[in-house]
A = this chain, B = another copy of it.
């Protein structure tokens, strides 16, 4: 297996951020030796009784056993007096492992259930790593007491490290807001950079808040924000079998955040920040690209066009080559399947007007665009000139680094 040691050039400056502890949530991370040696590879989060939990999962029809298990449990609260737990291991995805996969999930989640004294349907697990190999559940069960002993409200950074596979940096984000003069906090962690290096997969996101909100309301909020954040990023168009986003609200701040605009905005920012960090850790990425589409007939059409541009290998390689190759943008718009009229199309690189009315703009100078493409952060703007539909998607370039990570090493 390839070991990626060099941190992405797009990693946020300053390293892992200082995330505020969330009242009602504790973290532990230990080494279980699931696959990796010499690093922590299992994390446990304990969440207080009375919390709400919401989640969004991969839509893959070949999704992994822990995902199916989470989906069957989500929204259920079998005992109001008991808390919840998130258990995650890296190194093995427990995906495409048949009946064995389900048994492994039962073994690890029931071990958490016994150790923490909570119902097993309050335990949400996830696994990330190799597909198709049986998960050595006994190694995770063997460290359960050690995890229990380590639980600490300040240890979210350890958790962020334990869930990494070939990520080149741990990902965290937080916001603190005031509602009616009272503080509410949100802290989240994520891992992933697409379907990562040999056999590695999965984007995992865990977000915690001390805001007070019901389960159904939290789920509605999270699902809506997910469509504007994690569903708007793409590294290589490949969908993991294990993608999981879980949000827990402990309510310990005593502040009701249901339908609160400031809270919803803050949660949006945390989700978007984590989503951007996943793109910034995209395999082989050297450019962070925002693709903004406006003027589409519908928002759905705008999203289609944005994804067609962001997923086009020819657009992504042009960006890698710092080539203002706007003909490839025209091509991607054309193939998207969305309603488009060649002669109403406007294309911009940053503030540079490249093309309008079906042809290159009279004032366009290739050298200006070529200079712009040398930046590390790029904006590709496309207006279809048809209606009010708009969408934004974030992606990275396609480089030799991607081929090296995915083709040059054998699993």
How many Å from the CB of A363 to the closest CB on chain B? 15
Q: Which of B60, B198, B342, B408 is A62 in contact with, Cβ under 8 Å? A: B342
CB atoms of A331 and B62 under 8 A apart: yes
Within 8 Å CB of A198, what residues of B? 323, 325
- A sample of 15 inter-chain contacts (CB < 8 A) reads A60-B331, A60-B334, A62-B330, A62-B342, A63-B334, A96-B330, A96-B342, A98-B343, A238-B328, A314-B406, A317-B402, A320-B407, A321-B408, A400-B407, A403-B403
Whether a CB of chain B sits under 8 angstroms from the CB of A131 is yes
When A132-B355, A339-B61 are in contact, do A327 and B403 touch as well, CB less than 8 Å?
A: no
How many Å from the CB of A52 to the closest CB on chain B? 29
Whether a CB of chain B sits under 8 angstroms from the CB of A166 is no
Within 8 Å CB of A144, what residues of B? none
Whether a CB of chain B sits under 8 angstroms from the CB of A253 is no
CB atoms of B313 and A359 under 8 A apart: no
Whether a CB of chain B sits under 8 angstroms from the CB of A264 is no
1/0 per residue, CB under 8 A from B, across A372-401: the answer is: 000000000000000000000000011110
Show the binding face of A for B, using Cβ within 8 Å. Answer: 58, 60-63, 93, 95-100, 130-132, 195, 198-199, 201, 236-241, 311-314, 317-318, 320-323, 325-328, 330-336, 338-343, 345, 355, 357-360, 370, 397-400, 402-403, 406-411
Within 8 Å CB of A400, what residues of B? 400, 403, 407
State A326–B340 Cα separation when bound (angstroms): 38
Minimum CB distance partner of A357 in chain B: B98
Q: Which of B96, B201, B327, B406 is A313 in contact with, Cβ under 8 Å? A: B406
Within 8 Å CB of A327, what residues of B? 93, 95-96, 130-132, 199, 201
State A314–B98 Cα separation when bound (angstroms): 23
State A60–B308 Cα separation when bound (angstroms): 12
Number of copies: 2
Given A96-B360, A317-B402, list of 18 further CB < 8 A pairs? A60-B331, A60-B334, A61-B341, A62-B340, A63-B334, A95-B327, A96-B330, A96-B342, A98-B359, A130-B327, A195-B314, A201-B331, A238-B312, A238-B335, A241-B331, A320-B403, A322-B410, A398-B403
Within 8 Å CB of A311, what residues of B? 237
Minimum CB distance partner of A238 in chain B: B314
CB atoms of A96 and B236 under 8 A apart: no
Within 8 Å CB of A100, what residues of B? 359
CB atoms of B409 and A321 under 8 A apart: yes
State A328–B197 Cα separation when bound (angstroms): 11
Q: Which of B96, B336, B338, B357 is A355 in contact with, Cβ under 8 Å? A: B96
State A411–B58 Cα separation when bound (angstroms): 39
CB atoms of A132 and B407 under 8 A apart: no
CB atoms of A323 and B195 under 8 A apart: no
Q: Which of B61, B98, B132 is A333 in contact with, Cβ under 8 Å? A: B61
State A339–B237 Cα separation when bound (angstroms): 19
Most chain B CB inside 10 Å of its own CB: which residue of A96, A195, A236, A360: A96
